[in-house]
């Protein structure tokens, strides 16, 4: 008597898979595979260096000159900027979170096939200049890429004042052909013009020279239209009042040792966070949550 073979239930999602690997320069890395996408996350900086949907170009730009070394930031992907943005005298640029090896606290393949990973910023000497706090980054990989930065002030008496930002480098076909929308009417600080304050009058921003702007009091989604790669990139955010737009252009690109001379053509940074006048003040016991969801759709 023959037994009937059981057919696989194709209505059930395939579970996501997480693999622990040695990445560049043997730095520990997590590779995540889901039914929709793949991603790579380094413990160094809790740094997402790769996200790609099936049958799509990579979402994130990575420089071929990126350094993968202790106490050095990775150039490209999504650096976490915390607890300050820009330069701070005697302390370097963009805080210390992006150059620390974060602790892996939890990884959870979800029932829908997605994967969530929780990383925590470890105790470090630089943190002693601030009231006690915890900082967790939760990364969710599915057909979109989600990031969530949770900061809790553990002090019983002192306020915690900080800036934060997901410094996202997007891969584009040619930066001179893209347009960026969602910032019309916002005031911005123009670093290229010595932090002059101005208002964005354009519905679609186009890039034809160095751009380094902090858009203030902006909470709306931002979209990048990329005709060369035939796709629309969308940045949705919560707990963020600032958007930074950056491209180093020709001269700055040539001055950066961890960035290729012509790579400015293949990237644009659209960063979500709370910087400058939008910095965050947390009272004792309070928690701040910054979250972004990155997605792409064909044009």
Which residue ranges of the chain lie beneath pLDDT 70?
1-15
How is residue 44 annotated by DSSP? Answer: B
Query: Is 157 labeled as catalytic in the residue annotation?
Result: no
**Which CB contacts under 8 angstroms, 24+ apart, belong to 188-197?**
188/213, 188/214, 188/215, 188/216, 189/213, 189/214, 189/216, 189/276
Q: What is the mean pLDDT of the chain?
A: 94
Catalytic residue among 40, 171, 223, 271: 271
How high is the pLDDT of residue 11? 46
How high is the pLDDT of residue 92? 80
Residue 20's contacts (CB-CB under 8 Å, 6 or more residues apart) are 28, 29, 30
Question: Which fold does the domain 17-298 belong to in CATH?
Answer: Beta-galactosidase; Chain A, domain 5 (2.70.98)
CA distances from 129 to 12, 101, 160 (A): 50, 19, 10
How high is the pLDDT of residue 110? 86
Cα 226 to Cα 236: distance, rounded to the nearest angstrom: 17
Of the candidates 169, 162, 157, 154, the one whose C-alpha atom is nearest the C-alpha of residue 91 is 162
Catalytic residue among 94, 167, 223, 263: 167
Query: Is 271 labeled as catalytic in the residue annotation?
Result: yes
CA distances from 296 to 66, 106, 217 (A): 25, 27, 25
Rg, Å, the chain Cα set: 20
How high is the pLDDT of residue 123? 95
How high is the pLDDT of residue 87? 85
3-state secondary structure of 227: coil
Strand partners, 244: 214, 271
Q: What is the pLDDT of residues 139-160, one digit of tens each?
A: 999 999 999 999 999 999 999 9
Residue-range domain boundaries for the chain: 17-298
């Amino acid at each position: 008597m023959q037994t009937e073979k059981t057919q696989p239930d194709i209505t059930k999602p395939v579970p996501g898979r997480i693999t622990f690997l040695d990445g560049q320069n043997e730095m520990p890395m997590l590779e995540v595979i889901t039914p929709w996408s793949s991603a790579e996350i380094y413990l160094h900086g809790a740094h997402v260096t790769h996200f790609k949907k099936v049958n799509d170009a990579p979402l994130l730009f990575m420089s071929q000159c990126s350094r993968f070394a202790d106490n050095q930031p990775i150039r490209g992907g999504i650096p976490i900027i915390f607890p300050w943005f820009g330069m701070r005298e005697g302390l370097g640029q963009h805080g210390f979170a992006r150059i620390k090896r974060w602790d892996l606290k939890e990884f959870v393949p979800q029932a829908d096939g997605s994967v969530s990973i929780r990383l925590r910023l470890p105790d470090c000497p630089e943190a002693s200049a601030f009231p006690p706090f915890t900082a967790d980054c939760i990364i969710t990989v599915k057909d979109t890429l989600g990031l969530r930065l949770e900061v809790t002030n553990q002090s019983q008496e002192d306020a915690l004042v900080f800036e934060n930002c997901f410094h996202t480098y997007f891969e584009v076909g040619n930066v001179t052909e893209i347009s960026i929308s969602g910032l019309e009417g916002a005031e911005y600080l123009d670093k290229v013009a010595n932090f002059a304050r101005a208002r964005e009058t354009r519905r679609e921003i186009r890039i034809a020279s160095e751009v380094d702007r902090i858009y203030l009091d902006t909470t709306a989604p931002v979209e990048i239209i990329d005709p060369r790669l035939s796709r629309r990139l969308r940045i949705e955010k919560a707990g963020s009042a600032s958007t930074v737009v950056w491209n180093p252009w020709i001269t700055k690109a040539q001055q950066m040792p961890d960035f290729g001379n012509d790579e400015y053509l293949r990237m644009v940074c659209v960063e979500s966070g709370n910087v400058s006048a939008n910095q965050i003040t947390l009272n004792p016991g309070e928690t701040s949550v910054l979250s972004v969801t990155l997605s792409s759709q064909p044009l």
